[in-house]
Amino acid sequence: MGLKYLILCLLVVVFVGPFFWLLSVALRESGNIYSLNLIPENPTLKNFSDTWTKFNLYRPFLNSCGVAAATMFLNILLCSLAAYPLARLRFPGRQVIFFLILSTMMIPFQLYMIPLFLFCRRIGLDNNLLGIILPTSVGAFGIFLIKQYYHTIPKDLEEAARIDGAGEFSIWWRIMFPLTKPALATLAIFVFVANWSNFLWPLIIIDDIELYTMPLRIAKLSGEFIEKTQYMAAGAVIAITPVIVVFLILQRYFIRGISLGAVKG
């Protein structure tokens, strides 16, 4: 038992330690990154306000919030809609369609990002936040996760609803969708984190600096504030904070969604 807690404490240090060190650098007056003292001698919040105002992080912060929130909402809705017939209905080619969807997870993004960019430019989505949102509005992982969770819901609920005259859409919206909150919260966390920290695709599709998201804007900090590491650390902490907040809000559903979604297939 003691060894188990020791290993857990070491894992906490490994995963949480870098964030506390980053926060410590952000609170220092000099930005000395070589000091191992996690508690600064003269901590100050001025670095955060200076970074926010001097580098104008307001606009990219709002852009990232809009992109991450819209993508999260669309994934929850579309993945749930796509997973319902694959999990609960019986029709020819159902398994083939599901395996074809899963096969897309094996294709690396770098392989199709150029055709995707050309397609987005052809339909006018380049240099547009919709060009970031729409290509990531639904994913195979989300469909798989929610489909697996649907298998854990008793079929008696559907049969009772059909006896009462409910249609398939009504069954999904009134019964299945509310019962998948743990899986939806799990998907929401994954999608929000992935799209909040997405760097490569926004870098490709966005040219206008007014449309930059937080990862693109923070990348500029290393060039403009190369000697002020406390500013770079403060910007990184600001960029990380929304992810932590979303996870803390949805964490009670997270483990349940992962575990129950993996029970049946």
Angle of CA points 130, 136, 141, to nearest 5°: 165
Q: Is residue 133 part of a domain?
A: yes
Please tell me whether residues 149 and 248 are part of one structural domain: yes
CA dihedral 56, 61, 63, 65 (to 10 degrees): -170
Q: Is residue 49 part of a domain?
A: no
* Eight-state DSSP code of residue 106: G
Average pLDDT, the chain: 85
Q: Is residue 208 part of a domain?
A: yes
Please tell me whether residues 121 and 70 are part of one structural domain: yes
Give how many domains the chain has, as a whole number: 2
Tell whether the model's pLDDT for residue 260 goes beyond 60: no
pLDDT at 28: 81
Q: Is residue 242 part of a domain?
A: yes
Q: Which CATH number fits the domain that encloses residue 229?
A: 1.10.3720.10
* Eight-state DSSP code of residue 135: G
Amino acid at 192: F
Supply the Cα-derived Rg of the chain in whole angstroms.
22
Amino acid at 158: E
Name the percent of the chain lying above pLDDT 90.
Answer: 33
Please tell me whether residues 250 and 211 are part of one structural domain: yes
Q: Is residue 65 part of a domain?
A: yes
Please tell me whether residues 221 and 183 are part of one structural domain: yes
> Whole domain around residue 12: which residue ranges?
1-44
Please tell me whether residues 39 and 64 are part of one structural domain: no
d(CA 14, CA 109): 29
State mean pLDDT over 216-239. 77
Please tell me whether residues 33 and 152 are part of one structural domain: no
pLDDT at 117: 93
Name the percent of the chain lying above pLDDT 70.
Answer: 89
Q: What is the largest CA-CA distance in the chain?
A: 71
Please tell me whether residues 34 and 87 are part of one structural domain: no
Q: Is residue 251 part of a domain?
A: yes
Q: Work out the burial of residue 77: count CB atoms within 10 Å of its CB; fewer than 13 is exposed, 13-18 middle, 19 or more buried.
A: middle
What is the band of 256 on the pLDDT scale with cuts at 50, 70, 90? low
Please tell me whether residues 171 and 118 are part of one structural domain: yes
* Eight-state DSSP code of residue 33: T
Tell whether the model's pLDDT for residue 223 goes beyond 80: no
Predicted model pTM:
0.84
Please tell me whether residues 25 and 73 are part of one structural domain: no
